[in-house]
Homo-oligomer: A and B are copies of this chain.
Amino acid sequence: MSAILLAMTGAGWNPAQWQARFSALAPRREVRIWPDRVGDPAEIGYVCAWKPPPGLFAQFPHLRAIFSLGAGVDHLTGDPLLPAVPLVRVVDRDLTARMTEHVVLHVLLHHRRLRLYERQQRERVWHEHAQPAASEVAVGILGLGVLGRDAAEVLARIGFRVAGFGRTEKSVPGIETFHGQAGLDAFLARTEILACLLPHTPATEGILNLTLLRKLKHDGALGGAYLINVGRGRLQVDADILAALEEGTLAGASLDVFPTEPLPRASPLWAHPNVVITPHNAAVSDPRALAENVLTQIERFERGLPLEHVVDRAAGY
């Protein structure tokens, strides 16, 4: 039976915890940990990876599939020696639900002017501001994958006017959808709160720039435009977001990801009164749910069934 290798770098990962969970679910499956307990490279059939070093996968002659432990795969696709085995994105109900929690919280936070009321609380001021209903406010979901569609569905249930933009034409019940370059401009022109859930690819790098933000609707029910980025840090240009806040193009932002993480202490984004910063924790992989997800996929695969959520390498996600 092919062994599973866990190869994770970066803070916050606990490979021993992941190994314990895999072993609890599939006691007969061997699970090893990179870099110290790889054993015979020829026995590695699967790698569960987060930001592994380039060239790692090329060392395993019998590699059958690679699983990315987050929703993104940009940490893998840059490897010039990446073998031609299926590259599988994690699409997990738990991860999706956590992302929706985050997106809904931050849409409501800007919609209901929470930062303004917090400032009033600090000053002990009891004062109510005019408040549009969600049904008057246009939310736009940039990226209509599994995560974007789930967030769109909940926001529509709450009452927001929700639209979505995808690279290709997609149909989502109850949601107005846009695609293509002309579609993007029309989508932005009707959107007051933009939630970005795009993957990071050469085509999306730096897409959240001043030119794009200026296309948002600024005279809607909220009287300003808001950005929520939970996609990838390299989608956004920090200096442009600051400039957009400065010139009034943005009234506020919730940023969970940044081109440089952790966000450097010197960044002026930390201190901006209308910017909400979270430490890339919008949707954190839960070892319990994801280990089960990966094992189910491997069992299906070994019974001859196709893997689900395999990355289209040409599209980059």
Given A104-B158, A112-B102, A278-B117: A126 and B261 within 8 A (CB)?
A: yes
CB of A204 closer than 8 Å to a CB of B: no
C-alpha gap A286/B132 in the complex (Å): 9
Residues of B within 8 A of A131 (CB): 98, 281, 284
Size category of the A interface is 35 or more
The answer, yes or no, to whether A184 is at the interface (CB within 8 Å) is: no
Interface residues of A in 107-125 (CB under 8 A from B): 108-109, 111-112, 114, 117-118, 120-121, 124
Q: Which residues of B contact A25 (CB under 8 A)?
A: none
Q: How far is B155's CA from A158's CA once the two chains are assembled, in angstroms?
A: 10
Contact residues, A254-288 vs B (CB, 8 A): 261-263, 265, 270, 276-281, 284, 286
Q: Is residue A128 contacting chain B, with contact meaning CB distance below 8 A?
A: yes
Interface membership of A304, Cβ < 8 A: no
- Of the candidates B12, B104, B157, B263, the one whose C-beta lies within 8 Å of that of A128 is B12
CA distance A267 to B107 in the complex (A): 30
Given pairs A98-B133, A105-B105, A118-B276, 15 additional interface contacts (CB within 8 A)? A97-B134, A98-B131, A98-B134, A101-B108, A101-B111, A102-B112, A105-B108, A105-B109, A108-B108, A117-B278, A117-B279, A121-B270, A126-B261, A133-B286, A154-B158
